[in-house]
């Protein structure tokens, strides 16, 4: 399949080829730096545009609007969006149901071609999409690049996974029969996506749903609807039929809840906070009049992640891993390290090296590519500052703790570290979702593992050690969905690190892994007597 207007080198890859991850952009290359600055200038000239709802391919207006702003410069409007409400629930659902009748019967190859075409367009316009992410959610260049790269990876990976599922067979052929195992789509699903990975998670959930033959009502976060709107445009340019993805940014309390509760909604894919995820789970579990199925929830809800540093660790590597895990994108990742658990023997030297490294971090407008940009909005600033005040009572503040003012009024917070944090204290237990790190001293490895497991979450974790016996023990006992050794606990790679957590971190959905598309399908066994 050729996409008109794309350079020959960027045409869709063959789905039969081996999947490979999109390479990271080398920003030490002056040409890549120039390309990034050109993209920032280009996107800056398109900020503030008004976008429509898209339901069944039709552009619609509503009475209320959502204003997406640049968190580094809140006066700068990134996009103006319609606000879907109760009046849009039935039109969106009826449209998605109609589209499902034909889309669910389309060939796997047609759906795969759509994803690969979208991946090719995004690859061609990679710097442009980075720029949108930088302006709308405040990621620096490397974080924005990783977001776009992961988006491409999800599209490419799920396309190939769809082909694999379509070729699935039963484990045996029973004598005298022809046996088949068919993975068929579920129906209409709600995709409720977050702002912190506004491109990759939004596109990944949507792509998995539609390549499996479902149709989608997409409700992106109100903090990042512009990137979602741009993605839907890419799908349209790739040949998406009307009604397969319906773009409906809106209020969670009205439009979102109504879609979750609707008797025709078959599944809900959600990434966000524990509180909202549990509310969705409860609402989805209540059967509505006319509902003929148990709704499926695919939930990723956050974490309180620990890095355990053992006395035999490479301290330079451990410091770098903790800093990047805790303060990358200002700690606004469900996988972020918010607790460093350090053996007493090396605690003081680790603490001093950590403080020195954090003091060297730069902070500013992400368009200028500092280490840290802003947090997402004023509500996040207020919430994080409340946790910092609690931390001052529970531990010892050794770095940061302030919200420095800027001329542009950006939502900035200093990278903040507390030492001597009690393992069961508030800042050691509750998800803060900001640049706050709590350090806890432990007597040894076994105590460190107990502390690492003492939260209600179970998403990511890391252990720095050269001891193979400790690695073996942690493999079995460190209860997280994604465990790493001698590296940071963020930055899961599609295909290599299927992503999803235990306990209150969600339903262990394992995005980017071989099981993920099964969540958007149901298996139908067919036997024919010969």
CATH classification at residue 51 = 3.40.605.10
Q: Tell me, yes or no, whether 297 and 310 share the same domain.
A: no
> Residue 170 in contact with residue 78, Cβ under 8 Å?
no
| Catalytic residue (choose from 156, 161, 248, 334) | 334
Decide if 248 is catalytic: no
Give me the catalytic one of 143, 150, 300, 431.
300
Task: Report residue 6's pLDDT band, with 50, 70 and 90 as the boundaries.
Answer: low
Sign of torsion over alpha carbons 385, 389, 395, 398 = positive
Task: Report residue 13's pLDDT band, with 50, 70 and 90 as the boundaries.
Answer: confident
Residues 194 and 240 in one domain: yes
Do 61 and 44 reside in the same domain of the chain?
yes
* 435 is a domain residue: yes
Q: Do 250 and 285 sit in the same domain of this protein?
A: yes
The DSSP symbol for 403 reads -
Helix and strand numbers (H, E) in the chain are 15, 21
Domain check: are 336 and 468 in the same one? yes
Q: Return the CATH number at 433.
A: 3.40.309.10
Residue 13 lies in a domain: no
Please indicate, yes or no, if residue 17 is contained in any of the structural domains.
Answer: no
Through-space distance between the first and last CA atoms of the chain, rounded to whole angstroms: 39
| pLDDT tens per residue, range 230-246 | 999 999 999 999 999 99
3-state helix, strand, coil in the chain (%, to 5): 40, 20, 35
239 and 144 housed in the same domain? yes
Q: Which domain holds residue 340?
A: 305-493
pLDDT tens, 333-367?
999 999 999 999 999 999 999 999 999 999 999 99
17: which 2 tokens? 């080829």
pLDDT at 462 over 70: yes
Question: Are 335 and 459 contacting, i.e. CB atoms less than 8 angstroms apart?
Answer: yes
For residue 2, name the pLDDT band (cuts at 50, 70, 90): low
Residues 185 and 320 in one domain: no
CA–CA gap between residue 190 and residue 129 (Å, rounded): 24
Per the domain annotation, does 1 fall within a domain? no
Mean pLDDT within 87-98 = 98
One domain for residues 67 and 185: yes
**Does one domain contain both 310 and 184?**
no
Catalytic residue status for 310: no
pLDDT of residue 14: 73
Q: Burial level of 17, CB count in 10 A (0-12/13-18/19+)?
A: exposed
| Alpha carbon distance 164, 517 (integer Å) | 10
Q: What is the pLDDT of residue 303?
A: 97
Q: Would 244 be classed as within a structural domain?
A: yes
Judged against a pLDDT cut of 70, whether residue 171 lies above it is answered with yes
DSSP 103-172: HTTS-HHHHHHHHHHHHHHHHHTHHHHHHHHHHHH---HHHHHHHHHHHHHHHHHHHHHHHHHHT---SS
Q: What is the mean pLDDT of the chain?
A: 96
Can you give the pLDDT at residue 253? 85
Residue 291 lies in a domain: yes
Structure tokens that stand for 376 in this block: 């997402």
* Residues 263 and 395 grouped into a single domain: no
pLDDT of residue 116: 97
Q: By the 8 A CB rule, do 165 and 521 touch?
A: yes
12 in a domain, yes or no? no
pTM above 0.75, yes or no: yes
Number of domains in the chain: 2
In a domain, 19, yes or no: no
Residue 272 and residue 173 share a domain: yes
Query: Which token pair is 223?
Result: 């903090």
Same domain, residue pair 278 and 313: no
Helices marked H in 212-314: 225-237, 257-261, 274-285
């Amino acid at each position: 399949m050729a996409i008109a207007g794309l350079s020959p080198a960027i045409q869709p890859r063959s789905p039969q080829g081996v999947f490979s991850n999109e390479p990271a952009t080398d920003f030490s290359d002056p040409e890549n730096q120039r390309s990034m600055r050109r993209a920032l200038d280009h996107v800056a000239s398109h900020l503030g545009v008004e976008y429509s709802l898209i339901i069944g391919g039709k552009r619609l207006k509503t009475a209320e609007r959502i204003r997406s702003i640049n968190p580094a410069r809140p006066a700068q409007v990134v996009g103006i969006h319609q606000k879907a409400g109760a009046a849009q629930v039935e039109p969106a659902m009826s449209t998605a149901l109609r589209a499902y009748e034909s889309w669910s019967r389309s060939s796997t190859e047609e759906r795969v071609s759509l994803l690969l075409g979208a991946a090719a367009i995004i690859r061609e316009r990679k710097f442009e999409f980075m720029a949108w992410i930088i302006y709308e959610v405040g990621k620096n260049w490397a974080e924005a690049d990783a977001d776009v790269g992961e988006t491409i990876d999800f599209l490419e990976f799920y396309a190939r996974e769809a082909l694999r599922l379509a070729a699935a067979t039963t484990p045996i052929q029973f004598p005298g029969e022809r046996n088949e195992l068919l993975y068929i789509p579920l129906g209409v699903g709600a995709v409720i996506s977050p702002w912190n990975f506004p491109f990759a998670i939004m596109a990944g959930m949507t792509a998995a749903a539609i390549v499996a033959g479902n149709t989608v009502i997409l409700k992106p976060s109100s903090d990042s609807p512009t990137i979602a709107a741009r993605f839907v445009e890419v799908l349209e340019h790739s040949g998406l039929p009307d009604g397969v993805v319906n773009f409906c940014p809106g209020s969670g309390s009205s439009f979102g809840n109504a879609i979750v509760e609707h008797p025709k909604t078959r599944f809900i894919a959600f990434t966000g906070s524990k509180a909202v995820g549990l509310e969705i789970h409860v609402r989805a579990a209540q059967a509505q009049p006319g509902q003929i199925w148990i709704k499926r929830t695919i939930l990723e809800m956050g974490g309180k992640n620990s890095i355990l540093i053992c006395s035999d660790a490479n301290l330079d590597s451990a410091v770098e891993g903790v800093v990047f895990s805790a303060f990358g994108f200002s700690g606004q990742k469900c996988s972020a390290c918010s607790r460093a658990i350090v053996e007493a023997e090396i605690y003081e030297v680790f603490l001093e090296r950590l403080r020195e490294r954090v003091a060297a971090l730069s902070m500013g407008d992400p368009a200028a590519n500092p280490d840290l940009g802003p947090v997402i909005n004023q509500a996040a600033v207020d919430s994080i500052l409340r946790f910092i005040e609690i931390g001052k009572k529970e531990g010892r503040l050794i770095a940061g703790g302030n919200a420095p003012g800027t001329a542009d009024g950006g939502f900035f917070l200093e990278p903040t570290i507390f030492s001597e944090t009690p393992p069961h204290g508030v800042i050691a237990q509750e998800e803060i979702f900001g640049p706050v790190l709590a350090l806890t001293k432990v007597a040894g490895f076994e105590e460190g593992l107990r502390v690492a497991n003492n939260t209600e979450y179970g998403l990511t974790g890391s252990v720095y050690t050269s001891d193979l016996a400790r690695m073996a023990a942690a493999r079995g006992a460190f209860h997280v969905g994604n465990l790493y050794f001698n590296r940071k606990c963020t930055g899961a790679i599609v295909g290599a690190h299927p992503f999803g957590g235990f306990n209150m971190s969600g339903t262990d959905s394992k995005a980017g892994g071989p099981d993920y598309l099964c969540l958007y399908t149901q298996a139908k066994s067919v036997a024919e007597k010969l």
